[in-house]
Every structure is written in C-alpha cells, then in structure tokens.
Amino acid sequence: MNRQELAQMIDHTILKPEATATDVEALVAQGVALGVYSVCISPSMLPIDVQGLKVATVCGFPSGAHHGSIKAAEATQSITDGADEIDMVINLGFAKTGQWDRVQAEIEAVRQATSSGVLKVIIESAVLTDEEIISACQAAKYAGADFVKTSTGMHPAGGASVHAVQLMKDSVGDSCEVKASGGIRTLAEAMAMIEAGATRLGVSASAAILAEMN
C-alpha cells in the first residue's frame, strides 16, 4: 500500500464539541492537501464547501441514547445539508440488555433516512462483550448498513482494537465494510487495523500517520 492508497481510506475527523467553523475549514484544507477520502464533522457544521472531498457526519453522537426518531430526523437533515455519509451510534443500553430488535429498528429508521448516502453504524466495541459485538454487527447487517464502525472515540472505555475489528469483519463478512476509529495515531496502528479487516479509518492524526510513509 502506498501513501495515496492509505489516504483514500481515511475519514479526516474533527468532532471535538468545542471545534469552531474556522477549525473545520482548516481540517478541510488539510484534508485536500493530504488527499484523504473524506472529512468527518459535526452536523451543526453543515453545509460546508469540502472542495471535492466526501463529507461524513455523525448521528446520535456520542451517547447513542437519543430517540430513534430523532436519529432519523438528524440523518435526514444532514443529508439535506450535503452529507454523503452518516455515522450513527447505536443505543448501548439496548445492546447491553439484549434488545437487538430495538437496535435493528433504529438502524433501519436511519437507513431509510439515508437511502441516498452511506450508513456507518458505530457499535462502541470497547463497551461490548464479544457476543454483543457479534449481535450488534448482525443487527447492522440485517438493517442494511454499509459499514460497522468500532467507536465514537469519545467513550472512556476506549477506542478501536485489532481484536474488535477482526471480530466485526468475521461477523459481517462481505455484507458490510468495517471502519476502525478511536485512538489510531500511528502508521503501525493504522496498518494493524487494515490488516485486521478495516477498509476505512476515522482519524484526527491523519497528517502524522501519512507523514510516516514519506
């Protein structure tokens, strides 16, 4: 894999709640210079000129505890505002109590709202047991998601792990892709996630990671 190929797997991300419009504009400019696939920003920052990049945003972020109808409405608004991809957070309370029908129903509602875009489902893998990771991935797959995603990067339990990415890829097979996100700061960490099965990376340290390939 060369530098350009790696860059095209990156969602260049800024989701800090204190991020300003100026910060987002700087992120876009840096993303263009780096040749990344997309920028991932908060929905309140839309619409924005992304200078030819894809634009991703989040939904039900970061807790996932929003009502399903609110998640669907948020996704609809983001698509209207120019988002190409929606990264939604599942309801972790439902997941931890085995209410997989409710998890799947929420994903289906957001899927319907994002029929013209890519849907990534954040399962917050560090919070879940292996069995719960598998069930969450199955719910996302059956609901028609395009990706399952490890983490918001905001939870104190942690972010992406190689084990979680492997388990998620095994769970969805070729039905979905896997996005690794949360705590990926070095080239070695990025490559380990790709080798485990990730086809997209959500990172804020894009410049540092890509610089290691120069």
- Classify residue 167 as exposed, middle or buried by CB count within 10 Å of its CB (0-12, 13-18, 19+): buried
Q: Which of 71, 141, 149, 169 is catalytic?
A: 149
Q: Give first-to-last CA distance, the chain, whole Å.
A: 13
DSSP of 59-87, one letter per residue? ESTTT--S-HHHHHHHHHHHHHTT-SEEE
The answer to whether residue 149 is catalytic is yes
The answer to whether residue 87 is catalytic is yes
Q: Which residues contact 123 (CB under 8 A, 6 or more apart)?
A: 90, 95, 133, 136, 137, 140, 148, 149, 150, 168
Angle between helices 130-142 and 100-113 (to 10 degrees): 40
CB 51 within 8 A of CB 28: yes
CB 22 within 8 A of CB 50: no
Angle between helices 100-113 and 68-80 (to 10 degrees): 20
Q: Which of 71, 87, 146, 169 is catalytic?
A: 87
- Classify residue 52 as exposed, middle or buried by CB count within 10 Å of its CB (0-12, 13-18, 19+): exposed
Residues known to be catalytic: 87, 149, 179
